[in-house]
Amino acid sequence: MTSMEVLHEIVSAEQAARKLYGEAVRRQEGFAEYLEAKKTKLHDEYFNAARERLAEHEARETAKADAAIAVLDKKLETELSAARESFEANRAALAVKVFELAVGLDA
């Protein structure tokens, strides 16, 4: 092999090495983009699932709270109705008692 042939082989090998290096860099950048896209997709999937679970939990808790409020409202309405009935039944006696107290205090 002549020195020109050796030099030509060296230049060809360097060109091939540069080409391989360029391809490796391109693939590395592509892989980084691929990983970032995968990471973003997993992040979005996780948070969408978390939002769905949160909405379901919120709906269940709202339903429980509404049921508890309904029970308390019914209890309050029952007690208020009983108090009204008691007042109506004892209205005259209460009026007399208030009048006696007012007159007794002024005298």
What domain count does the chain have? Answer: 1
For residue 89, being part of any structural domain is answered with no
The percent of residues above 70 in pLDDT, for the chain, comes to 97
Q: What is the pLDDT of residue 94?
A: 84
Q: Tell me: pLDDT of 3 over 90.
A: no
Over the chain, what is the mean pLDDT?
91
Contact 59, 66 (CB under 8 A): no
For residue 101, being part of any structural domain is answered with no
| Structure tokens, 14 | 């360097």
pLDDT in tens, 51-99: 999 999 999 999 999 999 999 999 999 999 999 999 888 888 888 888 8
What's the whole-model pTM score? Answer: 0.49
Contact 94, 87 (CB under 8 A): yes
Domain extent, residue 47, equals: 3-78
Q: What is the pLDDT of residue 48?
A: 96
